[in-house]
Amino acid sequence: MKFVLDESVDAPIAVRLREDGHKVICIWETSRSASDDQVLSLTNQHRAILITADRDFGELVFRLKKAHFGVILIRLSGLPLQEKVAIVSRVISEHGERLSEAFTVVKPGLIRIRVGS
Percent helix, strand and coil across the chain, each rounded to 5? 45, 25, 35
Residues 6 or more apart from 62 whose CB is under 8 A from it? 103, 117
Residue type present at position 17: L
**Predicted confidence (pLDDT) per residue in 6-61, tens digit:** 999 999 999 999 999 999 999 998 888 889 999 999 999 999 999 999 999 988 88
Predicted confidence (pLDDT) at residue 116 exceeds the cutoff of 80: no
Q: State the average pLDDT for the chain.
A: 93
Output the CA–CA distances (angstroms, integers) from residue 82 to 41, 44, 86, in the order listed.
Answer: 30, 29, 6
State residue 4's pLDDT score: 96
Q: Give the residue among 4, 57, 110 at the shortest CA–CA distance from 13.
A: 4
The torsion region of residue 78 among left (phi > 0), alpha (psi -120 to 50) and beta comes to left
Query: What are the phi and psi torsion angles at 89 (to 5°)?
Result: -60, -45
Which is it for strands 102-107 and 110-115: parallel, antiparallel or unpaired? antiparallel
For the entire predicted model, the pTM comes to 0.93
Which of helix, strand or coil describes residue 42?
helix
pLDDT of 107: 96
Rounded CA-CA distance 69/49 in Å is 5
